[in-house]
Structure 1
Amino acid sequence: MNRTDRLLTIVLELQGRDRVRAEDLARHLGVSKRTIYRDVLALNEAGVPVVSVPGQGYSLMPGYFLPPLQFSAEEAVMLLLGSDVTAQLFGGGPAEAARQASRKIGAVLDPAMRDEVAFLLDNLRLVRQGGGEEAQATRDKLRQLREAVTRRRVTRFSYHKPGSAAQTRQAEPHGLYLLGDVWLMAAFDQERRALRSFRVDRMEDLELLGDVFSRQPGFRLAREEARRDRPLAVRVLFAADRRREVRERLPFYTTGTQETPEGFVVTLRARTVQEVLPWLLSWGADAQVLSPAPLREHLRDEGRRLAQRYA
């Protein structure tokens, strides 16, 4: 942490608490008490009214606020929940940055609002599912890919697509996004000379190369995602009394739902049959595909294979 960041952190710590001892600041910032003394002197010389109370520590003169931000309780809670989810998703350096941001947000709240926000945070939780080695492996890859995006480093990795042999790919990462429960990397594929999306959980042996690339002109992640081709229109019929359960398990590529005399109809837009197949099979005979006909035939064949396996 450079000195400018350290001085701002001291002000935020003082603003968020009545009094703070020099040894507590030193421990929090990983510096000596002598450094804290020099920093406090520098703040006073810069016009920040830090008051020293012998035996009790430092405090800011009443009425002094930095930065001049005002949050409602709801705004503060949403920001802090977002920081918490970021910490869960990325871990490591980004997680610490998220926690530091949370401390800064908490420091600019007045005491009465701080208590209200603390109560709401204790009773609202956004918890990411998943854990173990696979989750840790994904976080490690996300850390590498985040670095590749920000530093414009070319990546090389082994990519495993279902039903095909692993291929070595070399790509220029432009962005990362979470779609449903799946992380994807938007990147320029050097071999195919086109923008592609790669599932992070299908990458192995990921490495950042020394090459630095130039970003594709005009690239915007939201625009590229909107352009993604999903040619397969699927309509699925469920019994009306399964409506609530179906709504709870809709995939991210759902485009609409409709209540009809026949039952509850779900409309999907998928890239391939393989993308939608696992979701359909999870419903067993409760899901009736209305269209397209090739998907109905594919499910019929899959059903025969299952019957043969368990015959």
Structure 2
Amino acid sequence: MSQLSRLISILTLLRSKRLLTATELADKYGVSVRTIYRDIRKLEEAGIPVYTIEGRGYSLVDTYTVAPVQFTEQQANALITAQHLVSQSKDASFVNEFNEALTKIKSVFRTSIQEKSELLNDKILVFNWEREEFSSNALSEIQLAITHFKYMEINYQKADDPNITFRKIEPCAMYSAYHKWILIAWCHLRQDMRAFRIDRIQHYKILQDTFEDRKFSIQEYFATCPFDGK
């Protein structure tokens, strides 16, 4: 990561949290504490109102803001609650992208809203009693394949089947059930729409070739096909 990218990221974090230590920042970016000191000085020289709370860390003055968007406390609470629900997802890429997005959103919270949202964050717990060894790290890339109409090649393993099959598919939509993400796609092997659990995709490749939009409707799909979350 370049220094400029790190400075922008540090500023975003400072705007999303009330207090950050140099050690926390150094650990996050894999740099020395001395480097963080230099980064903070760069921000100060650029006119960013960073101030140091002796023995505690860095913060921004309460009046500092660069965005006109304001959130109510209820809206902020909804986002904090959503973060706890998203954390139960079995797809690491989805959880990571959501957390990064939420960090940016929290950067425009007023200080009073930040305080309340941090308080609520410590008072929410979501249990997931259904434990499985299966997980995935492909959801974010598959979402791009859906919106850009990109072909995918996958190696797929069905439940209770030791065999892995190769499929070329046209990803059309997805849904979540029982903490699992299911991809609905046109399968060239079966010449029909099929549902694929993303955590059962052993390997995938998104091709540069695009397919024609089939105008797929997930609502119509569920009106004619049985629900399958397995």
Q: TM-score, normalised by structure 2?
A: 0.70
Instruction: Kindly report which structure 2 residues correspond to 1:161-310, keeping only aligned pairs within 5 A, or say none.
Output: 168-179=166-177, 183-192=181-190, 196-200=193-197, 204=200, 206-209=202-205, 211-217=207-213, 219=215, 224-228=217-221, 230-231=223-224, 271=225
Partner residue in 2 for 1:260: none
TM superposition shift of 1:177 = 1.6
Change in Cα spacing, 1:153 to 1:126, as seen in structure 2 (3 Å) is farther
CA distance in 2, matches of 1:153, 1:8: 35
Change in Cα spacing, 1:56 to 1:67, as seen in structure 2 (3 Å) is same
TM superposition shift of 1:228 = 1.6
Instruction: Kindly report which structure 2 residues correspond to 1:136-151, keeping only aligned pairs within 5 A, or say none.
Output: 137=134, 139-140=135-136, 143-144=137-138, 146-150=140-144
Change in Cα spacing, 1:100 to 1:205, as seen in structure 2 (3 Å) is closer
Change in Cα spacing, 1:144 to 1:96, as seen in structure 2 (3 Å) is closer
Instruction: Kindly report which structure 2 residues correspond to 1:19-58, keeping only aligned pairs within 5 A, or say none.
Output: 20-51=20-51, 57-58=57-58
TM superposition shift of 1:70 = 1.8
SS in 1 for 2:87: helix
Partner residue in 2 for 1:79: 79
SS in 2 for 1:191: coil
**Structure 1 unaligned blocks of 5 or more:** 232-270, 277-311
CA RMSD in angstroms, aligned pairs only: 3.9
SS in 2 for 1:173: strand
Q: Which runs of 4+ in 1 moved over 6 A?
A: 53-56
Q: Which has the higher helix share?
A: 1
TM superposition shift of 1:106 = 4.3
CA distance in 2, matches of 1:119, 1:55: 22
CA distance in 1, matches of 2:17, 2:205: 46
Counterpart residue identity of residue 227, structure 1: E
Partner residue in 1 for 2:154: 156
Change in Cα spacing, 1:78 to 1:3, as seen in structure 2 (3 Å) is farther
Change in Cα spacing, 1:167 to 1:208, as seen in structure 2 (3 Å) is closer
Identity percentage over the alignment?
23
Instruction: Kindly report which structure 2 residues correspond to 1:118-133, keeping only aligned pairs within 5 A, or say none.
Output: 118-133=118-133
Cα displacement string for residues 201-258 of structure 1 (whole angstroms, at most 9, x for unaligned residues): 7x85632247433143375xxx521222645xxxxxxxxxxxxxxxxxxxxxxxxxxx
CA distance in 2, matches of 1:34, 1:229: 57
CA distance in 2, matches of 1:228, 1:66: 44
CA distance in 2, matches of 1:217, 1:155: 18
- 1:22/1:33 contact within 8 Å kept: yes
SS in 2 for 1:156: strand
CA distance in 2, matches of 1:28, 1:166: 38
SS in 1 for 2:210: coil
SS in 2 for 1:89: coil
Partner residue in 2 for 1:112: 112
With CA pairs under 8 Å and 6+ residues apart, which has the higher RCO, 1 or 2?
A: 2
Change in Cα spacing, 1:197 to 1:146, as seen in structure 2 (3 Å) is farther
CA distance in 2, matches of 1:6, 1:46: 14
SS in 1 for 2:88: helix
How many residues get paired? 222
Cα displacement string for residues 26-54 of structure 1 (whole angstroms, at most 9, x for unaligned residues): 22332223432342343234432334577
TM superposition shift of 1:84 = 2.4
Counterpart residue identity of residue 155, structure 1: E
- 2:89/2:180 contact within 8 Å kept: no
Counterpart residue identity of residue 32, structure 1: S
